[in-house]
Amino acid sequence: MEKIVDIIEAMAHEKNISLESAVDAFKEALIKTAKRCTSYTSHFEAMVDMERKDYTVEQIVIIVKDDDERFETEADAVISLKEAHELYGADLELGDELRSPFILEEHGRTASFNLFKELQYHIQRQVEEDLFEKYREKVGHIMIGTVNRVDEKENTFIEIGELKGLLSQRNRIKGEKFKRGDTVKALLRYVSIDPEMGMFLELTRTSPKFLEKLMEKEVPEIADESVTIVASARIPGQRAKLALKTDFLNIDPIGASVGVKGVRINAVSSELDGENIDCIEYSPIPEVFITRSLSPSIVQSVKITSAKDKKVVVNITSDQKAKAIGKSGINIRLASMLTGYTIELNEIEGRTERTNEKSGNNTNPEVEKTTNTDALADLFK
């Protein structure tokens, strides 16, 4: 028995799993082997004492009523109250358990062989479960790996730790090409199990969450939550919009995210194959948020036509309409994705003069200030 317990410790060390997990796998192996030696409807309980380097297996039979339905499905796991009284005494009651030791050594070499096979199987399963849990906790985080191969369907297989990652063509930025040996950053979407591939990591470079995580790594203020990304929208490889906010008066969320001379935002853009990233300041007022999201265009007014269905009509002059729509409709699509509203543009007469405005990351320093404080009087009543 001591030899078997020593094997458990060695396997735990070799497979890099905890001793508790290895012991649980051993218990499962003992129970499965016992069922192989008797019947699969029998009930067993295994106990392992690592200090004494000993284990025991007990067969359990439950006392039930004569008409209990388990006589049809688990005949070896139950006994009638009448029969129990006849065999073991009249002091037994319904629900009592009759336990008897199961000695594995009495079942010969076949039982030992089956135990070893079962142990290998359950140890491997425990390894896979530990791996699954380890990487499941990393879902939504950036993974870095090395390209192992690219198949004929342009699926990219990436070595990441103990597992392989799959970056399919639809999860790759359009136009990206990888070759064997390249180092790739991607967001972990799922931990998947496939009959052919086994356990693998499903990766993406097109998710808005990937952009958010890259910004978090590049911008300390986002990492320490001084600046919060409220929402994000992307058309991968082309353009993206980020809505940012902060609760600190001394922090400019746009300036912090862009960095000096754009160094931070450019680093993220470079990782995304030159994707153009617009940073806007979030507002809890929908009309203001929608107005900012349509930057660099200047809108005249915003009217919410259906709060329930999230529909708005935006009045805009003809000279600003093209900017609001953007090339191939990209700007208005991103604004809609960012705000969650369906945006309808209503062209009105006139032209918009760009005076004293804040657009994107550029601010006109010559801002006209008012000296009339009547509008603030109500705040101090």
d(CA 156, CA 184): 10
Which letter, b or e, does each residue of 211-246 get, where b requires 16 or more Cβ atoms within 10 Å of its Cβ? bbbbbbebbebbeeebbebbbbbbbbbbbbbbbbeb
Q: Are strands 362-363 and 358-359 parallel, antiparallel or unpaired?
A: antiparallel
Q: What residues contact 326, with CB distance under 8 A and at least 6 apart?
A: 239, 332, 333, 334
Q: Decide if 216 contacts 224 (C-beta within 8 A).
A: no
Q: Which helix (H) or strand (E) holds 166?
A: strand 163-167
Q: Could you tell me the domains of the chain?
A: 2-131 (3.30.1480), 142-204 (2.40.50.140), 207-282 (3.30.300.20), 284-352 (3.30.300.20)
d(CA 30, CA 9): 16
Crossing angle of helices 19-37 and 2-15, in 10° steps, is 130
Q: Decide if 244 contacts 227 (C-beta within 8 A).
A: yes
Which tokens sit at 238? 């082309």
pTM: 0.74
Structure confidence at residue 92 (pLDDT)? 87
Which tokens sit at 318? 């003809």
* Tens digits of pLDDT across the chain (381 residues): 557 777 888 888 888 888 888 888 899 999 999 998 888 889 999 998 888 888 899 999 999 998 888 888 888 899 998 888 888 888 888 999 899 998 888 888 888 888 888 888 888 888 888 889 889 999 999 999 999 999 888 899 999 988 899 999 999 998 898 999 999 999 999 998 888 788 899 999 999 999 999 999 999 999 999 999 999 999 999 999 999 999 999 999 999 999 999 999 999 999 999 999 999 999 999 999 999 999 999 999 999 999 999 999 999 999 999 999 999 999 999 999 999 999 999 988 877 765 444 434 433 333 344 455 554 454 444
Structure confidence at residue 19 (pLDDT)? 86
Which tokens sit at 92? 């037994």
Q: Decide if 241 contacts 203 (C-beta within 8 A).
A: no
Q: What residues contact 350, with CB distance under 8 A and at least 6 apart?
A: 317
Q: Strands across the sheet with 342-348, in order?
A: 301-306, 311-317, 342-348
Q: Are strands 301-306 and 97-101 parallel, antiparallel or unpaired?
A: unpaired
Give the length of the chain.
381
Q: Decide if 241 contacts 338 (C-beta within 8 A).
A: yes
d(CA 192, CA 66): 47
Structure confidence at residue 365 (pLDDT)? 38
Residue listed under structure tokens 């862009």: 258
